[in-house]
Amino acid sequence: MYKLFLNPFFLTILLAGLGTQIIKILIYRFKHKQSFHLKDLFVTGGMPSSHSSLMAGFTTITFLTEGSTPLFFLTIALTAIILRDAMGVRRTAGEEGLTINLLIKKLHPGIKPVHYSLGHTPKQVLVGSILGLVSAVISYLITLFLFSRNP
């Protein structure tokens, strides 16, 4: 089981995913002065983008461990699709959800509003991507250091 934590891909996913969500919670809680709930670890949207963090981290660790292989270029393509989706499709769908809720509130106040997530702004995607890149480099250096000391 401990070998799982020595895997640079697993470490990157753990650092990027969990780290980004914790930062997102701290920003949200500081801004809105609300208490923490466990479900907050799974919140989507907002600053920074965890989708961007995970994918940028995955792409970076793939390059650091595998080099310029077809797998690396595949991760670039998947990352580009996911980041574009986070800023485009999900953002547009979220704005439509917000508009629907405003209409419901005005026309039918007794109806429960629909759940929506606004997706991400380019700034949120950029910050998430930087966090992912940093997470991958840290993971790579940790595993490089551990494996150089323990053959």
Lowest model confidence (mean pLDDT) among 38-42, 78-82, 102-106: 38-42
How many residues are given for the chain?
151
Q: Is the pTM of this model over 0.85?
A: no
What is the number of other CB atoms lying within 10 angstroms of the CB of residue 146? 11
pLDDT, tens only, 48-68: 888 899 999 999 999 999 999
132, 58 Cβ separation under 8 angstroms? yes
Which helix H or strand E contains 111, and what residues bound it? none
Distance CA 21, CA 117 (A): 15
- Position 60 scores a pLDDT of 98
pLDDT, residue 94, reads 72
The count of other CB atoms within 10 Å of the CB of residue 48 is 24
Q: Hey, where are the domains in the chain?
A: 2-90+122-149
Contact between residue 135 and residue 64 where contact means Cβ atoms under 8 Å apart: no
pLDDT greater at residue 13 or residue 26 = 13
In the chain, pLDDT over 90 holds for what percent of residues? 42
Quote the tokens at residue 26: 């701290």
pLDDT tens by residue, 86-130 = 887 777 777 777 788 788 888 888 888 776 666 778 899 999 999
